[in-house]
Protein backbone atom coordinates (compact mmCIF):
# COMPACT_ATOMS: atom_id res chain seq x y z
CA UNK A 1 0.00 0.00 0.00
CA UNK A 2 1.55 3.31 -1.08
CA UNK A 3 0.12 5.32 1.79
CA UNK A 4 1.07 6.25 5.34
CA UNK A 5 -1.53 6.74 8.05
CA UNK A 6 -0.81 9.75 10.24
CA UNK A 7 -2.14 10.53 13.71
CA UNK A 8 -1.43 14.21 14.33
CA UNK A 9 -1.72 15.54 17.89
CA UNK A 10 -1.37 19.07 19.18
CA UNK A 11 0.48 19.39 22.48
CA UNK A 12 -1.38 19.67 25.77
CA UNK A 13 -2.27 22.96 27.37
CA UNK A 14 0.30 25.45 28.68
CA UNK A 15 -0.18 28.46 30.92
CA UNK A 16 0.60 30.64 27.90
CA UNK A 17 -2.27 29.03 25.98
CA UNK A 18 -4.54 30.11 28.82
CA UNK A 19 -3.12 33.66 28.72
CA UNK A 20 -3.29 33.81 24.88
CA UNK A 21 0.43 34.58 24.88
CA UNK A 22 2.47 33.81 21.74
CA UNK A 23 4.84 30.87 22.27
CA UNK A 24 6.43 30.24 18.89
CA UNK A 25 9.89 28.74 19.42
CA UNK A 26 9.99 29.60 23.14
CA UNK A 27 10.17 26.40 25.19
CA UNK A 28 7.11 26.66 27.45
CA UNK A 29 6.19 23.60 29.58
CA UNK A 30 2.78 21.96 29.92
CA UNK A 31 0.67 23.02 32.86
CA UNK A 32 -1.15 20.47 35.06
CA UNK A 33 -4.11 20.35 32.71
CA UNK A 34 -1.76 19.82 29.76
CA UNK A 35 -0.02 16.94 31.52
CA UNK A 36 -3.41 15.33 32.14
CA UNK A 37 -4.42 15.86 28.51
CA UNK A 38 -1.19 14.23 27.33
CA UNK A 39 -1.84 11.19 29.50
CA UNK A 40 -5.40 10.92 28.20
CA UNK A 41 -4.29 11.13 24.57
CA UNK A 42 -1.72 8.41 25.19
CA UNK A 43 -4.31 6.19 26.87
CA UNK A 44 -6.76 6.71 23.99
CA UNK A 45 -4.18 5.47 21.48
CA UNK A 46 -2.57 2.78 23.65
CA UNK A 47 -3.98 -0.10 21.58
CA UNK A 48 -2.79 1.26 18.24
CA UNK A 49 0.47 0.31 16.56
CA UNK A 50 2.86 3.06 15.52
CA UNK A 51 5.91 2.52 13.36
CA UNK A 52 7.32 5.80 14.66
CA UNK A 53 6.39 8.75 16.84
CA UNK A 54 7.86 12.06 15.69
CA UNK A 55 7.65 15.20 17.80
CA UNK A 56 8.66 18.81 17.80
CA UNK A 57 11.68 19.16 20.06
CA UNK A 58 9.96 21.86 22.14
CA UNK A 59 9.04 20.39 25.52
CA UNK A 60 5.29 21.06 25.38
CA UNK A 61 5.09 18.77 22.34
CA UNK A 62 7.86 16.39 23.40
CA UNK A 63 6.28 15.65 26.80
CA UNK A 64 2.93 15.07 25.08
CA UNK A 65 4.63 12.67 22.65
CA UNK A 66 6.40 10.87 25.48
CA UNK A 67 3.04 10.08 27.08
CA UNK A 68 2.04 8.41 23.80
CA UNK A 69 5.38 6.63 23.63
CA UNK A 70 4.95 5.25 27.14
CA UNK A 71 1.42 4.06 26.35
CA UNK A 72 2.38 2.30 23.11
CA UNK A 73 5.99 1.28 23.70
CA UNK A 74 7.13 3.22 20.65
CA UNK A 75 10.15 5.53 21.10
CA UNK A 76 9.82 9.25 20.39
CA UNK A 77 12.04 10.90 17.80
CA UNK A 78 12.37 14.71 18.12
CA UNK A 79 12.39 16.65 14.85
CA UNK A 80 12.91 20.42 14.62
CA UNK A 81 10.92 20.47 11.39
CA UNK A 82 7.76 20.05 13.49
CA UNK A 83 8.32 23.20 15.55
CA UNK A 84 5.69 25.90 15.82
CA UNK A 85 5.91 28.92 13.53
CA UNK A 86 8.67 31.29 14.63
CA UNK A 87 7.12 34.62 15.59
CA UNK A 88 10.38 36.50 16.18
CA UNK A 89 9.93 39.54 18.42
CA UNK A 90 6.22 38.71 18.88
CA UNK A 91 7.07 35.72 21.08
CA UNK A 92 6.15 36.22 24.71
CA UNK A 93 3.56 38.90 23.88
CA UNK A 94 -0.21 38.90 23.41
CA UNK A 95 -1.99 40.00 20.25
CA UNK A 96 -3.42 42.93 22.24
CA UNK A 97 0.13 44.09 23.03
CA UNK A 98 1.13 43.88 19.37
CA UNK A 99 -2.02 45.66 18.20
CA UNK A 100 -1.24 48.54 20.55
CA UNK A 101 2.45 48.89 19.62
CA UNK A 102 2.49 47.82 15.95
CA UNK A 103 -1.05 48.11 14.49
CA UNK A 104 0.06 47.56 10.87
CA UNK A 105 1.86 44.35 11.80
CA UNK A 106 -1.19 43.25 13.78
CA UNK A 107 -3.43 43.96 10.77
CA UNK A 108 -1.28 41.90 8.42
CA UNK A 109 -1.21 39.03 10.91
CA UNK A 110 -4.98 39.18 11.46
CA UNK A 111 -5.58 39.18 7.70
CA UNK A 112 -3.30 36.14 7.35
CA UNK A 113 -0.97 37.86 4.91
CA UNK A 114 1.01 34.83 3.65
CA UNK A 115 4.17 36.89 3.05
CA UNK A 116 4.18 38.76 6.37
CA UNK A 117 7.33 37.99 8.40
CA UNK A 118 7.32 39.11 12.07
CA UNK A 119 10.37 41.16 13.04
CA UNK A 120 13.28 39.42 14.68
CA UNK A 121 13.71 36.38 12.45
CA UNK A 122 10.10 35.20 12.26
CA UNK A 123 8.52 32.99 9.61
CA UNK A 124 5.79 33.90 7.13
CA UNK A 125 2.84 31.57 6.64
CA UNK A 126 4.27 30.73 3.23
CA UNK A 127 7.59 29.73 4.84
CA UNK A 128 5.80 27.70 7.52
CA UNK A 129 3.74 25.80 4.97
CA UNK A 130 6.86 24.94 2.98
CA UNK A 131 8.66 23.70 6.10
CA UNK A 132 5.75 21.56 7.28
CA UNK A 133 5.07 20.07 3.86
CA UNK A 134 8.73 19.17 3.43
CA UNK A 135 8.89 17.63 6.94
CA UNK A 136 5.73 15.56 6.53
CA UNK A 137 6.81 14.33 3.09
CA UNK A 138 10.23 13.37 4.47
CA UNK A 139 8.88 11.50 7.50
CA UNK A 140 5.82 9.84 5.97
CA UNK A 141 7.73 8.56 2.93
CA UNK A 142 9.78 6.37 5.27
CA UNK A 143 6.71 4.46 6.50
CA UNK A 144 4.58 3.56 3.48
CA UNK A 145 1.95 1.03 4.52
CA UNK A 146 2.36 1.90 8.18
CA UNK A 147 1.19 4.40 10.75
CA UNK A 148 3.10 7.24 12.40
CA UNK A 149 2.27 9.92 14.97
CA UNK A 150 3.22 13.57 14.57
CA UNK A 151 3.05 15.58 17.80
CA UNK A 152 3.38 19.30 17.29
CA UNK A 153 1.67 22.68 17.64
CA UNK A 154 -1.45 24.60 16.71
CA UNK A 155 0.18 26.32 13.75
CA UNK A 156 1.45 22.97 12.45
CA UNK A 157 -2.01 21.39 12.81
CA UNK A 158 -3.53 24.31 10.92
CA UNK A 159 -1.11 23.80 8.01
CA UNK A 160 -1.76 20.04 7.97
CA UNK A 161 -5.50 20.67 7.72
CA UNK A 162 -5.01 23.19 4.91
CA UNK A 163 -2.71 20.86 3.00
CA UNK A 164 -5.14 17.96 3.34
CA UNK A 165 -8.21 19.98 2.30
CA UNK A 166 -6.43 22.16 -0.29
CA UNK A 167 -7.40 25.31 1.61
CA UNK A 168 -5.62 28.56 0.86
CA UNK A 169 -3.38 30.07 3.54
CA UNK A 170 -5.70 33.08 3.77
CA UNK A 171 -8.94 31.08 4.02
CA UNK A 172 -10.74 31.80 7.32
CA UNK A 173 -10.25 28.98 9.80
CA UNK A 174 -13.44 27.00 10.40
CA UNK A 175 -11.84 24.02 12.17
CA UNK A 176 -10.73 23.47 15.75
CA UNK A 177 -7.11 23.19 16.91
CA UNK A 178 -7.74 21.81 20.39
CA UNK A 179 -4.97 20.94 22.81
CA UNK A 180 -4.31 17.17 22.75
CA UNK A 181 -6.94 16.64 20.03
CA UNK A 182 -6.42 13.56 17.87
CA UNK A 183 -6.43 14.19 14.11
CA UNK A 184 -6.08 11.59 11.36
CA UNK A 185 -4.71 11.96 7.86
CA UNK A 186 -3.53 9.78 5.01
CA UNK A 187 -0.30 10.58 3.16
CA UNK A 188 0.64 9.40 -0.32
CA UNK A 189 3.32 10.79 -2.64
CA UNK A 190 0.50 12.85 -4.18
CA UNK A 191 -0.23 14.62 -0.89
CA UNK A 192 -2.36 14.52 2.26
CA UNK A 193 -6.00 13.51 2.65
CA UNK A 194 -8.16 14.26 5.68
CA UNK A 195 -9.58 11.21 7.49
CA UNK A 196 -10.81 12.65 10.79
CA UNK A 197 -10.30 15.86 12.73
CA UNK A 198 -10.54 17.29 16.23
CA UNK A 199 -11.35 14.17 18.25
CA UNK A 200 -11.40 15.21 21.93
CA UNK A 201 -13.63 12.41 23.21
CA UNK A 202 -10.72 11.13 25.33
CA UNK A 203 -10.75 14.43 27.24
CA UNK A 204 -14.40 14.01 28.21
CA UNK A 205 -16.21 11.71 30.65
CA UNK A 206 -13.06 11.23 32.75
CA UNK A 207 -12.05 13.13 35.87
CA UNK A 208 -8.80 15.06 35.80
CA UNK A 209 -8.28 14.00 39.42
CA UNK A 210 -6.73 10.81 38.02
CA UNK A 211 -3.71 12.82 36.90
CA UNK A 212 -3.91 16.28 38.51
CA UNK A 213 -3.48 16.58 42.23
The reply, when asked if residue 153 is annotated as ligand binding, is no
The reply, when asked if residue 11 is annotated as ligand binding, is yes
Q: From 4, 5, 26, 19, select the one nearest 153 (Cα to Cα).
A: 26
The reply, when asked if residue 17 is annotated as ligand binding, is yes
Cα dihedral across residues 75, 79, 84, 88: positive or negative: positive
The reply, when asked if residue 205 is annotated as ligand binding, is no
Dihedrals phi, psi of 197, to nearest 5 degrees: -140, 140
The reply, when asked if residue 13 is annotated as ligand binding, is yes
Q: How far apart are CA 118 and CA 108, in angstroms?
A: 10
Which residues are catalytic, by number? 11, 84
Q: Are 25 and 91 in contact (CB under 8 A)?
A: yes
Please, is 135 exposed, middle or buried when counting C-beta atoms within 10 Å of its C-beta (0-12, 13-18, 19+)?
A: buried
The reply, when asked if residue 15 is annotated as ligand binding, is yes
Residues composing the chain:
213
Binding-site annotation: residue ranges for substrate: 10-17, 60
Binding-site annotation: residue ranges: 10-17, 60
Amino acid sequence: MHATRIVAIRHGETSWNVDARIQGHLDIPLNDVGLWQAQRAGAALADEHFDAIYSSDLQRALVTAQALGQATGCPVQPDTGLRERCFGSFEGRTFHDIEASAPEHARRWRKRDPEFVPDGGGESLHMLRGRIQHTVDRLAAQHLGGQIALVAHGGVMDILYRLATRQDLQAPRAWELGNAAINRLLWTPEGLTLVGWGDVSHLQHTSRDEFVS
